Amino acid sequence: MTTPPADLSSLPQLSDVQAALTRVRSRLPMTPCTYSAGLSELVGKTIYCKWDHKFRTGSFKERGALNFLLALEADVHARGVCAASAGNHALALSYHAAQLRVPCLIVMPTSAPLVKVQATEKTGAEVILKGTTFDEAYEAALKLAEERKMQFVPAFDHPLIIAGQGTAALEILEQYPALEAIVVPVGGGGLISGIAIALKALKPSVQILGVQSEWAVEVKAHPGQYRHAKIKPTTIADGIAVKRVGKITQPIIKSSVDQLVAVSEAEIADGIMQYLSIERTVIEGAAAAGLAALLAGKFPQLPERCVLMACGGNIDMNVLSRLIERDMAHHQRHLRAVVSVPDRPGSLYTISGIIAECGANVLEVLHNRSFSHIPGHVDITFLLEVRDAAHRAQVLQALHEVKLSVRELDSSNA
């Protein structure tokens, strides 16, 4: 069975979104929508966050997946469902399929975050890794669904999926009816389409603002550029790393979304770290794209009262660890320095004592005898944790005062 056809003459309507909310309400709790004092101060507007990462599988995708499953006929349930996903759709569909005792097959690209692959497997679904991109996984999933006579469940391009995602907007109107704008990450467009359908029908004055990743925009503009590359570029916003929006979502976005912008990988990383430092909340790259756009000033005419869709929290811990280290270095809370000392007992002890007296914390130490630029010396590379730029300067000054060669390494020469 192939993907259900897109009937462009009957796009989802408000009634479909309302029916979806009635359908899923007994199984999906209403997620919080709360005021953020820290983000409001940072952005200069009144910011509320819709915390859809609070769902059991960590993203908004449960809305659409459950709506789709509950609308299927009994014979389709028996044959099972199949989907392609980079992660969140897989998690949502496989979890609710297990709850409803529906067989489930998920095809994921080999680049899918390990945390999402493992979590999907834990639901009991059959997981196959195929292709390096979502599109390659999608084609493989379509073929497998046909071979096994399973129902293919699109990640975003289906009326039931779109209507299910739109239930977030109905909740927001109940929780924060004064909103004037909503910022939504955009991959295939299912979430923003469902939200736009509901809000433009019930409160048309609300601005619908979409945010894509520059990675996805570049791939869409030059689809063949990286096809045969040995090393293909990756993105920390894998949830919106979709090469094109859907056939159904595209006309909805074109008619109902007020503005669509793109953010860079660095801006997305900043968004993740601001959620972590201000809200003490782990938000994945795709979901952090909305905040990234606000921090980067992508919406200069942003209305006063705004809702951010914090719609996913499934980030690989290794990626998060690297982002934290990067952020520490960017804010000068890490210092990497090479100190050349005589290669004899006590040298490391002496230098470590100087660092300790300054109150810096040693994170890493590396000895290098082979490439020391001073004969008879050893180069010791220290990675230190410092408080701020002033503390960083104090530590360097203390090291220079012992009359040894000290070379600071930054991101450009490390």
Domains of the chain, start order = 14-59+159-324 (3.40.50.1100), 61-152 (3.40.50.1100), 332-409 (3.30.70.260)
pLDDT (0 to 100) of residue 4: 45
* CA nearest to 38, candidates 300, 326, 294, 301: 294
Size (the chain), residues: 414
Q: Is residue 145 packed enough to be buried (19+ CB in 10 Å), middle (13-18) or exposed (0-12)?
A: buried
Looking up tokens 């409803």 gives 100
SS3 labels along 83-128: EECCCHHHHHHHHHHHHCCCCEEEEECCCCCHHHHHHHHHCCCEEE
* Terminal C-alpha separation, the chain: 53
Q: Helices 265-279 and 317-330 sit at what angle, rounded to 10 degrees?
A: 90
Phi, psi angle pair for 177, to nearest 5°: -65, -15
pLDDT (0 to 100) of residue 244: 76
Using CA atoms, how far residue 269 sits from 34, 208, 288, 346, in Å, is: 23, 23, 8, 41
pLDDT (0 to 100) of residue 411: 45
pTM comes to: 0.84
pLDDT (0 to 100) of residue 19: 97
| CA diameter of the chain | 81
Instruction: Give one DSSP letter per residue of 142-203, joined into a string.
Output: HHHHHHHTPEE--SS-SHHHHHHHHHHHHHHHHH-TT--EEEEE-SSSHHHHHHHHHHHHH-
Locate 128 and state its tokens: 């196959």
Residue type present at position 345? P
Question: CB atoms < 10 A from the CB of 267, how many?
Answer: 21
Contact yes or no for 248/11 (Cβ under 8 A): yes
Locate 259 and state its tokens: 């503005």
* Low-confidence residues in the chain, pLDDT < 50: 1-8, 411-414
Phi, psi angle pair for 375, to nearest 5°: -55, 140
- Per-residue pLDDT of 219-271, as tens digits, reads 666 656 655 555 566 788 888 877 778 899 999 999 999 999 999 999 999 99
pLDDT (0 to 100) of residue 227: 59
